[in-house]
Amino acid sequence: MVKVFPEYGNDSNSLPPLESGDRLTRAEFERRYNAMPNLKKAELIEGTVYVASPLRFEPHAEPHANLIGWLWSYKVATPGTRLGDNPTLRLDLDNEPQPDAILLIDAACGGSSRLSAEGYVEGAPELVVEVAASSAAKDLYDKKRAYRRNGIPEYFVWQVYEKTVSWFSLQDDEYQTLTTDEAGIIKSQVFPGLWLDVAALVAGNMQQVLTVLQQGLTSAEHQLFVEAIAKTI
């Protein structure tokens, strides 16, 4: 049964804890989250609260770490980009997700998101990344719809059990699936040089993943991207 709660005062002792299925405003969601310092991850998706369960190693923690390694390698080679691990993302009044990772262009370099006075990301970071156990997860339904509506340019979901990567690019206000080329590589449309060998990633072959990424980082399009960002710094 979904519980809908009224607004409460500022006394954290009077606030009920966040529970999955609660229907809350974003302001109330933040109040309760801030009153639960031991809570590691909770999200507000289309007005509904989702509190994460303890994370297992192979279905989530290890894939998450591998993705961070791939994205970090791109970030350090691309000035003006910033990488966040599990940041709170303020999208709209009904959505405050905490994606597994985001890669963005710094606002000073023309990026479309910014940091609030409290340090939260607001607006649409260029790439949002999620690790999902399977396609049955909310990541490919309500969360995808919220990301599309809020103009997230690219959305990446790794469905671990199914050994599948879905990489969406926002085109004409709809998400289109990016497909692999003849070499089995997907190339970001927003971050030139961010190349991914999908088969290597799902197989856990991170040496091959980084080899292909390095090819992207030495490509002409990545060099042009770095030069364009450098002009804004």
Q: Considering the entire predicted model, what is its pTM?
A: 0.88
| Helices and strands per DSSP (H, E), number in the chain | 6, 13
pLDDT one-digit tens code per residue, 112-163: 999 999 999 999 999 999 998 766 567 888 999 999 999 999 999 999 999 9
Residue type, 196: L
Same domain, yes or no, for 37 and 136?
A: no
pLDDT one-digit tens code per residue, 140-154: 889 999 999 999 999
pLDDT one-digit tens code per residue, 83-109: 999 999 999 999 999 999 999 999 999
Same domain, yes or no, for 130 and 170?
A: yes
- By residue range, what is the domain housing residue 63? 57-230
Q: What is the pLDDT of residue 1?
A: 40
Same domain, yes or no, for 26 and 66?
A: no
CB 129 within 8 A of CB 156: yes
Torsion 22-23-29-31 (CA) sign:
negative
Give the separation between CA 167 and CA 161, rounded to whole angstroms: 16
Q: What is the pLDDT of residue 133?
A: 75
Domain total of the chain: 2
pLDDT band at 52 (very low <50, low <70, confident <90, very high): confident
Same domain, yes or no, for 38 and 70?
A: no
1 in a structural domain = no
What are the C-alpha distances in Å from 28 to residues 9, 33, 138?
10, 9, 22
Same domain, yes or no, for 166 and 185?
A: yes
Same domain, yes or no, for 217 and 138?
A: yes
Same domain, yes or no, for 75 and 108?
A: yes
Residue type, 100: D
Same domain, yes or no, for 80 and 30?
A: no
